[in-house]
Structure 1
Amino acid sequence: MNLRRLHYFVKIVDVGSLTQAADILHVAQPALSQQLATLEGEVRQQLLLRTKRGVTPTQAGEVLYRHAQVILRQCQQAMTEMRAAGRELSGSVSVGLAPGTAAAGLAVPLLRTVRARHPGILLYLNETYGTTLSELVMNGRMDMAVLYGGRVAVHGLAFRPLLSERLFLVGHGDMPPPPAAQVPLGDIAGRELYLPRPYNVVRKMVDDACAGIGIVPRVVAEIESDGTLTAVMAEGLGATILPESMARQVVASCDAWLCRIVEPSIEAPLALCESDHLPLSEPAQAVKDILLELAAELPGFAASPETGAPAT
């Protein structure tokens, strides 16, 4: 296949419009349509469906789209590494850091260390929630991510366990705190809680632990924004359950208290996630080494080998 045609095809799918793709690619629309027709002739499959709203990939088109992303990314890595041969490392490296986790504390040290050791590397940091980050890594659009998870095997991904964070109940200072520094999980049943959506790893762990002792958490609102959740705690609207790193940030920013959850204790595993089949570029490998070096300085670091199986 012609790499240029693959590039054109990916761009068309990304924007969902031949006209917009032609403008972005600086190619006349008739010429772009001809390139697409040639590609469909080569693979002997219809790749796109044309609708009033634009174009969408067929089932065959979705398959080619996934593979084309990988092919183009590998070609770009090859060109970057060939140009960098014999010179200092250079190129773009993307790293995801799940917000509200100990990973967020790695951002500034990572930027500082990469800048000092490899000034030619352009580092892109993305702080969003774990599900999105893992999908970006799986699709080859992000090199690696530090996120909660790794105990359940995911096809296409490999996890390196880093550490586990204990979960804490957090409430405003005006709310009556538990009588001790630890609170049994069963005691939260009557509290109004603000938690993430059910697909969130931490929320899943809370729901599973509650189900295990026969209670249902009283969730009054679902919030994914760390800033909004902190504001809710500052206003004393209710309580929440957070990993230790985020819990301590909230307590430091407003009049709030925290108590470790016990009976049972809940721990969220933090792991380095990367593709199990796409090799890292040389710059990405260098950034990964620095990331692991910095993670080793975090409390509770687990020097565990990389695995595609469930992390323990």
Structure 2
Amino acid sequence: MELRQFKYFLAIVENKSLSRAAEHLHVAQSALSKQLAELESELGVQLLSRSRNGVTTTEAGKVFYEYAQGITKQISDARAAVLRSSDAVVGSVVVALPQSVAATIAMPLMRAVSRRYPNILFHLNEELTGNMADQLLLGRVDIAVFTETMPSRDIVFTPLVEEAFVLMHSPQDPIAPAPGDISLDEAVAQPLVLPSAQHGHCTRWIVDDALKRAGLPPQRIAAEINSVYVLKSAVEAGIGPTIMPLGLAQREVEEGRLVAHRIASTDVVRVLGLCVSRHLPTSNAKLAICRLISDVLRDLCESGQWSGGRYLGAVAQRGR
């Protein structure tokens, strides 16, 4: 397989049409069709289905598309690396953040990258947590800020921040607990609004594990919502309470739209850190962004902008 075939295939899928892809690539449509036919022949599978409405990926095509994106990115990064001096901090870096982290660190991180590394082409993706390990392993993402739930045989995890969870409910909740700290048992007294188990690695899984450790039954669910913003709105509207890190709803609590209770359990916490693939090369740009993420998270915790966050990076590094 040639790099050109990967690029042609990606263009066809993303433009949903051979003619539009040919126009985008400035090549003849017949040449594009020939390259696609050779690619499908070499793989021994059909990658695309054609119809009057354009082209769609087959199941095999969907798998190949994921790999093709990662492969073309790695080749592009390799080309940039060899064309620059060994100490240059240039190239592209893709960082993935789960929804439950993006609200806190996305803008401070983007501002820091723009200020400190203007020659890095920085991409920031907000992802559902169930997709992030695959994105890293396929090479489509360079760095993820996540919990230590990805497979250690493939992913290197460096802990940076610890966050305690709180019970969050509407001020109008008629059966909410009295002000002050509450037990884990009290926190799950009502059916909760939570992300689905498939996409709740950074939140739902923490709650599930804490209940299991405490010998409590699984929580009852009022609704499953895989959007942090919609989930907070649902809690504010009285659909049910939730358990989440305080930093996720700091503004709503300060404005009196939500009420938070600290949960007296050392198990209802999450540790966030850097996740990178063990199998992909590390560029100067990638190392620089890893260090910058650590600096940004430390500054947010120490300045109080990350409510409930405790920086662990320096401790983690000393222990290595």
Equivalent-residue separation in structure 2 for 1:63 and 1:99 (angstroms): 25
Quick check: 1:280 aligned with 2:282?
yes
Equivalent-residue separation in structure 2 for 1:136 and 1:255 (angstroms): 35
The residue number in structure 2 matching 1:25 is 25
The residue number in structure 2 matching 1:300 is 311
Q: Larger deviation: 239-248 or 292-301?
A: 292-301
CA contact (8 A) 2:13 2:56 kept: yes
Equivalent-residue separation in structure 2 for 1:48 and 1:95 (angstroms): 29
Within a 5 Å distance, the mapping from 1:216-227 to structure 2 comes to 216-227=218-229
**Unaligned stretches of 5+ residues in structure 2:** 302-309
CA-to-aligned-CA distance 1:20-71 (integer Å, 9 cap, x gap): 5334333332211212233455x36345354547353575x67765554444
Equivalent-residue separation in structure 1 for 2:136 and 2:14 (angstroms): 17
- In structure 2, the residue corresponding to 1:268 is in which secondary structure? strand
Equivalent-residue separation in structure 2 for 1:300 and 1:290 (angstroms): 14
Equivalent-residue separation in structure 2 for 1:173 and 1:219 (angstroms): 20
The residue number in structure 1 matching 2:57 is 56
Quick check: 1:159 aligned with 2:157?
yes
The residue number in structure 1 matching 2:125 is 126
CA contact (8 A) 1:88 1:118 kept: no
Within a 5 Å distance, the mapping from 1:1-312 to structure 2 comes to 1-13=1-13, 17-40=17-40, 43=42, 45-48=44-47, 50=49, 52=51, 54-56=55-57, 59=60, 68-85=68-85, 89-101=89-101, 104-147=103-146, 149-153=147-151, 156-175=154-173, 176-179=175-178, 181-199=180-198, 200-201=200-201, 202-212=203-213, 213-263=215-265, 265-297=267-299, 298=301, 299-302=310-313, 303-304=315-316
Residue type of the partner of 1:215?
Answer: P
Equivalent-residue separation in structure 2 for 1:138 and 1:44 (angstroms): 21
Task: State the 1:181 CA deviation.
Answer: 2.6
CA-to-aligned-CA distance 1:79-120 (integer Å, 9 cap, x gap): 32344438964333222222333x643333322332222222
Root mean square deviation, CA, Å: 3.1
Task: State the 1:4 CA deviation.
Answer: 1.2
Note closer, same or farther for the CA distance 1:183–1:122 as it changes in structure 2 (3 Å cut). same
Q: Larger deviation: 166-175 or 291-300?
A: 291-300
Residue type of the partner of 1:37?
Answer: A
CA contact (8 A) 1:80 1:91 kept: yes
Task: State the 1:185 CA deviation.
Answer: 1.8
TM-score using structure 2 length: 0.79
Note closer, same or farther for the CA distance 1:132–1:44 as it changes in structure 2 (3 Å cut). closer
- In structure 2, the residue corresponding to 1:296 is in which secondary structure? helix
CA contact (8 A) 2:96 2:145 kept: yes
Residue type of the partner of 1:276?
Answer: R
Note closer, same or farther for the CA distance 1:44–1:185 as it changes in structure 2 (3 Å cut). closer
CA contact (8 A) 1:96 1:144 kept: yes
Note closer, same or farther for the CA distance 1:27–1:292 as it changes in structure 2 (3 Å cut). same
Note closer, same or farther for the CA distance 1:39–1:225 as it changes in structure 2 (3 Å cut). closer
Note closer, same or farther for the CA distance 1:216–1:31 as it changes in structure 2 (3 Å cut). same
TM-score using structure 1 length: 0.81
Note closer, same or farther for the CA distance 1:265–1:247 as it changes in structure 2 (3 Å cut). farther
Note closer, same or farther for the CA distance 1:15–1:278 as it changes in structure 2 (3 Å cut). farther
CA-to-aligned-CA distance 1:178-203 (integer Å, 9 cap, x gap): 34632222223432421111221211
The number of aligned residues is 301
Task: State the 1:214 CA deviation.
Answer: 3.4
Equivalent-residue separation in structure 1 for 2:43 and 2:123 (angstroms): 38
- In structure 2, the residue corresponding to 1:191 is in which secondary structure? coil
Task: State the 1:241 CA deviation.
Answer: 0.8
CA-to-aligned-CA distance 1:233-271 (integer Å, 9 cap, x gap): 333443111113114333123333211223563112212
Note closer, same or farther for the CA distance 1:38–1:229 as it changes in structure 2 (3 Å cut). closer
Equivalent-residue separation in structure 1 for 2:72 and 2:150 (angstroms): 30
Residue type of the partner of 1:204?
Answer: W
Equivalent-residue separation in structure 1 for 2:233 and 2:72 (angstroms): 43
Equivalent-residue separation in structure 2 for 1:181 and 1:195 (angstroms): 22
Residue type of the partner of 2:248?
Answer: M
Q: Larger deviation: 27-36 or 125-134?
A: 125-134
